[in-house]
Amino acid sequence: MRLAAEGLRLLGAVTLGAVTALAELAFLLLVLPFPGNPNVGAAARRLARFEARRLRLDPAALAWDGVRPLGYLAARVPVGVLGGLVITLLGYGAGAGVLIAVAWGRGEPFDGMAPTIPLVAYILLAGFVLLFLDLSGVVGVHALERRLAARMLGPDPTEALERRIAELAESRAGIVAAVDSERRRIERDLHDGLQQRLVALSMLVGRARRARPELLEQAHQEAQQALAELREVAWRVYPSGLDSLGLGEALAGVAERSVVPVTVACELARRPPMAVETAAYFVVCEAVTNAAKHAGATRIAVEVHEEGAAVVVRVRDDGSGGASPAGGGLSGLARRVAALDGRFELSSPAGGPTTITAVLPCG
C-alpha cells in the first residue's frame, strides 16, 4: 500500500511537472525581452520555488540569487516535456489495454483481431514490458529533475566544502571547550562536596578514637553521604548503567533521582549507536537539572522516539521559562549535539514553558 501511494505521488509529480513546463516555456518566451527586470527575477524565483516544493527539495538549501532561477526554468522545460511524453504514452497504453480487454470480454474482435491463446500471451507480455518501460521512464524523469534542480540551484561545491570544513572546525573547538568545562565541573563537585565531606569524616573518626564512641554513628552517616555524592559525580561523568541497561532504563534512573516529578516515554525500536545514546542521556540530564534548579518547574516530560534515521529527544517543563541558549550547560549540550551533526533547539519564552529538542542522526 505504501509503495503504491509513493508511486501515485511520483506519477502526479511528473504529470504536474509536464504542465508547469509548458507554463514556464510560455513565461520564458514572454519575458525574453526583459531579462534584467526585477519583476521578472521575482516571478522566476517564485516558479523555481514551486518546482523545488514539487520535487520535495528544501528551498532553504538552494540558492536563489542572480539569474540562476531563470536558467533553471529554461533547462527544465525539455525535461518536463519529456515527462509529459512519458505520461502520454502511459495513458495511451493503459487506454488501449482497457479497450482490448472490453472488446474481447464481450466476445468481439478488436481491430479485426479475435482473441487466441498466442495473441493474448503476446499482448500481455508486450503490455507488461511497455508498462515497465513507462514506469521506469517516470522514475527516471523525476530523478533527472531533482538532479537538475540540485545542480543548477544548489550551492557551489567549493563553497559547500569550505562551509563544511568551517563547521567541523567550529564543532571540534566546541567539543574541546565542552570537555574542559565538564572537567572543571567535576573538579568543583569533588572539591566542594566530596572532599570536604571526607575531611569531616576523617576528623570525626579521629575524635571517636579518643574515647567518644557516640561519634561513630555520625561518622557512619557522613560516610554514607560521601558514597552517595561519589556515585552522583560518577554518573555525571558517565552513566555506567547506560551500557548494560540501555537508554530507557538510564533515563528512568534520572527520573527517580530528580526532585521534580519526571515522566519518561522512550519508544525506540532498536538501540541507537552508543554516541547517540550518550548524547541523548546528557541532554535529558542537563535539561532536568536546569528545570529543577532554575525554572521552578513542578513537572517535566521526557520524550524519546525515532524519526527516520534519527533519534529525537524532547524535554518539556512547566517552569518560568526565560532559559538562555548561551548558558554554560545548554551551550555545552548544543556543542555535543553539533558534534554528531545533530540539531539542537530551545524554546523558552518568558513565563514558560521550556522545550528542549535534540535531533541526533544515527547514520
Under DSSP, the state recorded for 268 is: -
How many whole angstroms from its chain centre is CA 27? 37
Instruction: Let me know: does 353 contact 319? Beta carbons within 8 Å.
Output: yes
354: helix, coil or strand?
strand
d(CA 336, CA 315): 16
Cis before 35? omega within 30: no
Show the cell assigned to 204: 570525626
Q: Which of 353, 356, 295 is nearest to 325 (CA)?
A: 356
| Buried b or exposed e, range 232-249, using 16+ CB within 10 angstroms | eeebbeebeebeeebbee
Show the cell assigned to 196: 570536604
Kindly state the helix (H) or strand (E) to which residue 345 belongs, with its residue range.
Answer: strand 343-347
- In order along its 363 residues, the chain shows pLDDT tens digits of 677 788 888 888 899 999 999 998 998 888 888 767 888 888 888 898 898 888 888 777 777 777 888 888 889 999 999 999 999 999 998 888 888 888 888 878 877 788 888 888 888 898 889 889 988 999 999 999 999 988 888 776 777 777 777 777 666 656 656 665 665 666 666 666 666 777 777 676 766 666 566 666 676 677 777 766 766 666 666 666 677 778 888 888 888 888 889 999 988 888 888 888 888 888 888 888 888 887 788 899 999 999 888 899 999 998 888 887 776 578 878 888 887 888 899 888 888 788 999 999 886
Q: Which positions ≥6 away from 123 have C-beta within 8 Å?
A: 100
